[in-house]
Amino acid sequence: MFAMRRSLIPILIIICAFVAFPPLLHELFPPKLPAAELIVHNSPRPLTDFTFSDDSGRSLTLDHFRDTFILVNVWATWCAPCKEEMPALNHLAVLLANKNIKIVPISIDVSGVLSVRPFYERLGLNTLSIYVDPSKNVMDALGITGIPTTVLVGPRWTRNWPNRRACTMGCA
């Protein structure tokens, strides 16, 4: 009996360490995420065309939103900051419903619509359309290295083929 108790002591110590260590580590070394950064370009940047799909599987390009501002938001269901900003984008879509701007949130989830649709339902995102790009071509085309990232594409982009350009502020 005493030998059994003695052999349990190291196991209990290991279990306690696994329970106590992560919060202690987080307290001693708080994670420091990079601050959000707004980049405003003086002139529009070149933009490579890319394809993505809507919730019915139809293949689209940004030409689908011709002659309007396009607010492209690249995100994923597993991204914590993305989860926080999606309700705000949904509200923004309500506010901008009758304006010359379309919000195009493109999920880069590998499972595509299968994970995005329940995510929308869970958060009550009833105004945003579902767009997916499991291949992540949107990231290469827009030069994105992290998510969430939002890029404003001006209506001039769809009129100047093939000299398309994107900007983050002030395109017309």
- Any residues with CB less than 8 A from the CB of 90 and at least 6 apart, and which? 123, 124, 125, 126, 127, 128
Query: Which range is least confidently modeled, 34-43, 73-82, 103-112?
Result: 34-43
Q: Which H/E stretch holds residue 40?
A: none
Tokens 């005493």 identify what position? Answer: 2
pLDDT at residue number 172: 33
State phi, psi for 50 to the nearest 5 degrees.
Answer: -150, 160
pLDDT tens-digit profile of 15-38? 766 666 666 655 666 655 555 666
Q: What percent of the chain has pLDDT over 70?
A: 73
The domains located in the chain, with CATH, are: 45-166 (3.40.30.10)
Average pLDDT for the chain:
81
Instruction: Say if CB 100 and CB 152 are below 8 A apart.
Output: no
| Count of residues making up the chain | 172
3-state secondary structure of 142: helix
